[in-house]
Amino acid sequence: MDEIIEQLLHLCTTSSTLMAVYDAEDRLRYANPAFRSAYFIDPDEAPLWPDLMRRNFTLGRGTVIRTVDFDGWLRSTQSRRGKIGYRAFETDLVDGRWLWMTETMQKNGWMLCIASDITTLRAEGRSVRQDRDQAIKASQTDELTGIANRRFVMARIDDMLAGVRSGDIGCLAVFDIDNFKLINDKHGHDAGDLVLRDFAHRLHQYVRRTDCFGRVGGEEFVLVMPGTTQQDAIELIERMLTTIRFSRPLTASPDFGYTCSAGIAACLETDSAPDLYRRADQALYAAKLSGRDRVRAA
């Protein structure tokens, strides 16, 4: 067995194929020389993926990121990164290389990334495939906030429940911004849109890579939390609600603040997605009735 491991390590070290492993916090835990060279990572470095992407974007190297709003691109990408068991896509590097990248997820949140250089392959259909990838991204993203949309997040609920039926655990949280109609009526719909974006952006910083956070309509948002106990979910949501209490998103009204309420439901083996969502929504209703700006569990 030791000899096999040594041979595997030797192959990884000498291969031109890019290989990397990220942990559940999205920190790089292993990368072979080919991967480190392509993304400008020192041999002793173990950066978080968002930090690595931000650094390379700022320095104009690594992955080609076609945007002027890096934070918006990051939120959109993180909303999909690591949310399904396997994902494959094409990506360009600033140095002109063209990679076929795969991401394989483990239940514990660790991710294996493998990228092959396909620069020399026939490129007639390259723009078509890139357009296809952009269309897929758009179909999974909420246009206003940049996070996952209803279609994508509801599919992740189904994935979580499939795991629960195999012995895993999980929770679903439903959020609703308090008195949102009054915000629109008093400050206007443009201000309402700013509040929605602020809400999504502030909560997104707490979303773990194995979670999925999305907007499902209006001022309602959902957080899918596989592998999470109800108590851990409550503690996470409490931190989120505290962050929202201190937000002041309207520069024209510096004293304006807002709150939100949340309902949580732990998955049952017998749950369907509508069952789970209904219990979380009932808990949200209980949070509203008890005074808003709080979380309640089904």
Q: List, for residues 188-243, the tens digit of each pLDDT value.
A: 999 999 999 999 999 999 999 899 999 999 999 999 999 999 999 999 999 999 99
What mean pLDDT is predicted for residues 25-38?
96
Average per-residue pLDDT in the chain?
92
Q: Please give the Cα distance from 298 to 286 (Å, whole number).
A: 9
pLDDT in tens, 45-72: 999 999 999 999 999 999 999 999 999 9
| Choice between 257 and 131, residue whose per-residue pLDDT is larger | 257
- Identified catalytic residue from 90, 219, 220, 238: 219
pLDDT in tens, 121-179: 766 666 776 777 777 777 889 999 999 999 999 999 999 999 999 999 999 999 999 99
> Hey, is 294 helix, strand or coil?
coil
Q: What residue type is 136 in one-letter code?
A: I
| 8-state DSSP, 119 | T
pLDDT band, residue 13 (cuts 50/70/90): confident
Angle between helix axes 189-204 and 70-78 (nearest 10 degrees) is: 60
pLDDT band, residue 29 (cuts 50/70/90): very high
Question: Assign residue 247 a region: left if phi > 0, alpha if psi is -120 to 50, beta otherwise?
Answer: beta
Residue pair 168/268 in contact (Cβ under 8 Å)? The answer is no
> Is 219 tagged catalytic?
yes
What percentage of the chain carries pLDDT values higher than 90?
A: 82
